[in-house]
Amino acid sequence: MSCNNSIFKVMVVGDSLSGKNSVLLRFTDDEFCANPNSNNELNFKIKIFQVGSENLKIQFWDFDEKMQKIMTSSYFQQAQAILVVFSVYVQKTLDELQLWLDQINNCKCRPHTVKLLVGHKFLKEEEESDPTRVITYEEARALAKREGFHGYFEVEAKTGENVEEMFTEMVNFQRKLVNPQKAVPSEKENSEMEEFSELPGGSQGCQCVVQ
């Protein structure tokens, strides 16, 4: 494998109860753990990911709420993509979203940074017997549109549902923003992100404020 892989940096933020670490573990190692690295405030992972005929070295920087106060805009400036993750079953993770959104919207991120809202179907094992959603799919998608995200995805790390599909669309959509000729056509007739960007008021780029 070539050592000249292009580097693709992804910031992953959200409350620790969102289970975002589990989503990353499913994508990078194809494994499931309810609380991987649960005591770490920063989780760093790498995956070599093939897009078309090219290999990308995806670097994941995973931050929880303990790191939020000391994070600077430089973290977001370096990213090709930003994922904001919450659990569709845990109200606290939804309540924390606005704090992350305020921080992201005041950064100087790149004009072609892709921003995704991710609803994780995640609960701790002892709470899984009768889960109740705190937000519907339609409400979450409307929230993502309103806040200028490029798309909304619901994933489940335990089963792997929609995880690889989300990251594939994330990478390809970012590449399309930078250079449409390098984009790999989606296997879906209408991808989530293509449809989302066409909605009235849909995001046409990272909505960060450049100061």
Q: Where are the domains of the chain?
A: 6-198
Q: What percent of the chain has pLDDT over 90?
A: 46
The CA distances from residue 64 to 56, 71, 198, in Å, are: 25, 10, 32
What does the chain come to in residues?
211
Tens of pLDDT, residue by residue over 157-199, are 999 999 999 999 999 899 888 877 665 655 554 556 655 655 4
Higher pLDDT, 66 or 39: 66
Q: How confident is the model at residue 76 (pLDDT cuts 50, 70, 90)?
A: confident
Tokens 């899984």 identify what position? 128
According to CATH, what is the number of the domain 6-198?
A: 3.40.50.300
pLDDT score of 88 more than 90: yes
Pairing between β-strand 54-63 and β-strand 42-51 as defined by DSSP bridges: antiparallel
What pLDDT is stored for residue 41 in this prediction? 54
Q: Compute the distance between CA of residue 170 and CA of residue 150 in angstroms, rounded to an integer.
A: 9
pLDDT score of 4 more than 80: no
Mean pLDDT of the chain: 80
Candidates 56, 61, 72, 86; CA nearest to 149 is 86
The crossing angle, in degrees rounded to 10, of helices 163-178 and 20-29 is 80
pLDDT score of 203 more than 50: no
Taking the model in full, what pTM does it have?
Answer: 0.82
